[in-house]
């Protein structure tokens, strides 16, 4: 009950704009100049929303109905993609089938937003099959996380379209998660990203200070897997946010080393790691702890950085727009959108 009261109180403060740092004036900060970005239209009650599965097959089809009802509660009309019931090995249909559905959903003027049912693996196999010209000419909200990180980053890199790292259909949509989704995508708020309602959600400062930049990131494994491809943005002056699950410290070490050698870590202006769920070493007496690995890679950068944001394979999730300017305060473990993510 105490955590629920804390959430409602904090939610009210965010909605009223009262969580902004007293030394930070959002109104006086302008978007970072550079590549032209495309902001999708905000979602409103009565809009038609499509649910698709561009990666893994949906094995529990009851989840489709549950997710549909969640979106209906927001006031949306729902269109179900054919990928939701298609099976091709561990994919929701062949690569061509899944890519065609995503292209068709972007091209359909009646569809205002596209939500992903689940992650898994497979989004990267679509990248050379997507019609980026159609996507850029038909900008709309695209939401997902985990393996969907591939689509979020690549579509932004190729088109400039702002995409959204947020909950998928088979993840939890509790009060916190639903509020933050609505705040960013429906209310078009220049919002503070809240600390979660649980005492265990308190952040940890790696390097103190504030940094402003364009948000970019997602699942660490997926970001690392894109290194060397043609589907990445310029990392200069970006705030990199990451999350991960079920990876041991040595694996986190390997992937962060890959980001360092690829020049990513040396270019970013700020760093946020959300949650690393089930990331303990199988043999802890023979390994570094996760936080030791994180500090080994991030502390030497000297940029503002913190761990513990509400993003990842967790119950309380933020909806984070890729391609939007934000400011982080690593001392407090808070971050703010300096502009609305939708128009």
> Taken in order 121, 122, 123, 125, is the CA torsion positive or negative?
positive
Is residue 297 part of the annotated active site? The answer reads: no
- CB atoms near residue 96 (< 10 Å): 11
**Phi and psi for 325 in degrees, rounded to 5?**
-75, 140
Q: Which of 53, 68, 123, 146 is catalytic?
A: 146
> Taken in order 292, 297, 299, 305, is the CA torsion positive or negative?
negative
Q: Which residues of 182-215 are buried (b: 16+ CB within 10 A; e: fewer)?
A: ebbbbebbbbbbbbbbeeebebebbbeebbbbbb
Q: Longest C-alpha distance within the chain, in Å? A: 57
Q: Which of 101, 190, 243, 325 is catalytic?
A: 243
Q: How far apart are CA 310 and CA 133, in angstroms?
A: 33
Q: How far apart are CA 59 and CA 243, in angstroms?
A: 25
Reference 216, options 117, 125, 304, 326; nearest CA is 326
- Parallel, antiparallel, or unpaired for β 334-337 and 163-165? unpaired
Is residue 44 part of the annotated active site? The answer reads: no
Task: Look at residue 67 and give its three-state secondary structure.
Answer: helix
Do 212 and 326 meet the contact criterion of CB atoms below 8 Å apart?
A: yes
The set of residues, in sequence order, having a beta carbon less than 8 Å from that of 144 and lying 6+ positions away, is 115, 116, 119, 151, 152, 164, 165, 166, 168
Q: Which of 165, 297, 313, 325 is catalytic?
A: 313
Q: Which residues are catalytic?
A: 146, 243, 313
């Amino acid at each position: 009950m105490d955590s629920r009261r804390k959430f409602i109180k904090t939610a009210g403060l965010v909605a009223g704009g009262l969580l902004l740092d007293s030394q930070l004036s959002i109104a006086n900060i302008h978007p970072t100049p550079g590549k032209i970005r495309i902001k999708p239209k905000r979602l409103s009650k009565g809009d038609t929303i499509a649910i698709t599965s561009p990666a893994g097959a949906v094995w529990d089809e009851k989840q489709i109905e549950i997710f549909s009802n969640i979106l209906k509660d927001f006031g949306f009309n729902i269109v179900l993609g054919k990928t939701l019931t298609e099976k091709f090995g561990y994919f929701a249909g062949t690569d061509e089938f899944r890519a065609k559905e995503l292209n068709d959903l972007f091209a359909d003027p009646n569809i205002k937003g596209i939500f992903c049912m689940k992650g898994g693996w497979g989004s990267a196999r679509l990248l050379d099959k997507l019609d980026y010209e159609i996507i850029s000419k038909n900008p709309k909200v695209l939401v997902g996380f985990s393996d969907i990180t591939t689509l979020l980053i690549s579509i932004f890199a190729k088109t400039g379209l702002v995409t959204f790292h947020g909950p998928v259909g088979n993840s939890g949509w509790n009060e916190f998660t639903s509020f933050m989704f609505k705040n960013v995508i429906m209310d078009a708020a220049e919002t503070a990203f809240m600390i979660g309602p649980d005492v265990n959600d308190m952040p940890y400062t790696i390097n103190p200070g504030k940094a402003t930049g364009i948000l970019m990131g997602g699942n660490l494994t997926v970001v690392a897997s894109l290194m060397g491809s043609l589907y990445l943005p310029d990392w200069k002056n970006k705030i990199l946010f990451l999350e991960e699950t079920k990876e041991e410290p040595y694996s986190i070490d390997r992937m962060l080393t890959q980001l360092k050698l690829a020049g990513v870590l040396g270019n970013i202006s700020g760093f946020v790691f959300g949650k690393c769920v089930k990331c303990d070493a199988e043999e802890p007496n023979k390994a570094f702890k996760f936080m030791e690995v994180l500090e080994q890679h991030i502390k030497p950068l000297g940029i503002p950085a913190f761990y513990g944001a509400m993003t990842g394979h967790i119950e309380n999730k933020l909806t984070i727009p890729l391609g939007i300017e934000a400011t982080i305060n690593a001392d407090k473990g808070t971050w703010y959108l300096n502009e609305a993510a939708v128009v």
